[in-house]
Amino acid sequence: MRRRRLLSNLGWASLAALPQRAAAQASARVYRVAVLRPGAAPPPSTSPGYIQTALNKLGYVEGRNLVLDTRYSGPELGRLPAMAREMVQAGADVIVAIGDLPTRAAKEATTRVPIIMFGNFEPVELGLVDSLARPGGNVTGVLIAPDGSMAGKRLELLMAAVPQARRIGFLTFPASLVGQQRQETQQAAAALGIELIVAEVRAGNYAAAFAEIQAARPGALLVASSQIFLRDRKQIIELATQHRLPAMYEWREQVEDGGLMTYSTSQYGRFQQLAAYVDRILKGTKPGDLPIDRPTTFKFVVNRKAAKAIGLTLPAPLQLRIDELID
């Protein structure tokens, strides 16, 4: 009898605890992280991006304590301000802005919601933050280069690979999207005494842009720093190989997929830092108190198979500067 009474008491105790557990689960905080990006969304088959993966490692999981609201402007960059306002109205806890135009749109949309910018531009010169050390306001960020777009360093290495080249093709977008990077690249080319053949990609027409470059018969190609070019890397690499153009890219992934060379930091490492900033802000740190984070380590990576495919032999002095050779 005492055993049945004990089991009965335990059963009632468990039932009594259920509302408390349910209330605790219901009160668990679900954070809304909005990501504003230019360009088109990747195909549905694409695996989870670096932002999601980095947030997962910090314990933020969609369906449990995270809503990841990612929006793409498509080709109409003028949609960015309205999209930023929609994110604020939807209750974003933090907005991640990829690029200077999304950052400007987010900054104009709110002075309350924290904003973390990501890209390679000069945020102080663009008026996005007060300083790199103390950004102030509701904006901080993670940059992918310590100073501007690193166009000078990439052009220098490209010229060392093809020292006889006097013209270099530059695959880019209209100035409205990458104005500062384009200006830095033109200045670097002038300093090196080379002619820059600028070809803009419009409406995703890479073939037309490459035809424009090839008509000028350049000795090599510099691919602008862009998440869109990273997404479309296979198409760009195929065209560069087809035209037998030694090409310098931004990220290691582009070289792993057949591009010739890159000088950059770790892309995933940058997104890990971005996720760390999201985490700190969600836990109460003010964005204006977080210094703009800039990378400090870089690697010169060359794809040996890509060089062979276009019949390029790298000069011996340049080979000594390679940090990693891949096939």
Q: What is the pLDDT of residue 183?
A: 85
Output the pLDDT for position 25.
43
Span 297-314, mean pLDDT? Answer: 95
Comparing 32-41, 241-250, 269-278, which segment has the lowest mean pLDDT? 32-41
Other CB atoms within a 10 A radius of the CB of residue 14 amount to: 10
State what percent of residues in the chain have pLDDT above 70: 87
- What are the pLDDT digits (tens) for 104-144? 999 999 999 999 999 888 899 889 999 999 999 999 999 98
Tokens 């009160």 belong to residue:
27
Mean pLDDT of 83-106: 96
Residues 191 and 315 in one domain: yes
Q: Which of 106, 110, 135, 124 is nearest to 36 (CA)?
A: 106
Per residue in 309-321, pLDDT (tens digit) is: 999 999 999 999 9
Give the pLDDT confidence of 1-24 residue by residue, as tens digits: 444 454 445 454 444 444 444 433
Q: Strand, coil or helix: what is 147? A: coil
Average pLDDT over residues 192-210: 93
pLDDT computed for residue 194 by the predictor: 93
Instruction: Please tell me the distance from the alpha carbon of residue 107 to that of residue 126, in angstroms, as a whole number.
Output: 12
Sequence-distant (6+) residues with CB within 8 A of 81 are 105, 108, 109
* 226: nearest Cα among 178, 274, 272, 275: 178
| Residue 21 domain-assigned (yes or no) | no
C-alpha span between 92 and 89 (Å, rounded): 8
On whether both 70 and 119 belong to a single domain, the answer is yes
226 with 315, same domain? yes
Range with the poorest average pLDDT among 127-141, 178-192, 202-216, 226-240: 178-192
CATH classification of the domain holding 187: 3.40.50.2300
Q: How far is the C-alpha of 81 from the C-alpha of 189, rounded, in Å?
A: 34
Number of domains composing the chain: 2
Residue 197 shares a structural domain with residue 311: yes
d(CA 217, CA 168): 9
User: Residue 85 falls within a domain, yes or no?
Assistant: yes
Q: What is the pLDDT of residue 77?
A: 83
Q: Same structural domain for residues 165 and 258?
A: yes
Q: Give the model's pLDDT for residue 43.
A: 61
One domain, residues 317 and 184: yes
Per-residue confidence (pLDDT) for residue 48, from 0 to 100: 55
Residue 293 gets which letter from DSSP? B
Could you tell me if 196 and 247 lie in one domain? Answer: yes
Do both 50 and 125 map to the same domain?
yes
User: For the whole model, what pTM was predicted?
Assistant: 0.80
Q: Of residues 231 and 160, which shows the higher confidence score? A: 160
Residue span of the structural domain in which 67 resides: 29-144+266-289
Distance CA 226, CA 205 (A): 16
Q: What angle do CA 10, 14, 17 make, to 5 degrees?
A: 140
Quick check: is 307 in a domain? yes
Which DSSP string do the residues of 213-265 spell out, in sequence order?
HHHT--SEEEEPP-HHHHHTHHHHHHHHHHTT--EEESSHHHHHTT-SEEEE-
Distance of alpha carbon 35 from alpha carbon 187, whole angstroms: 32
Q: Tell me: do 186 and 302 sit in the same domain.
A: yes
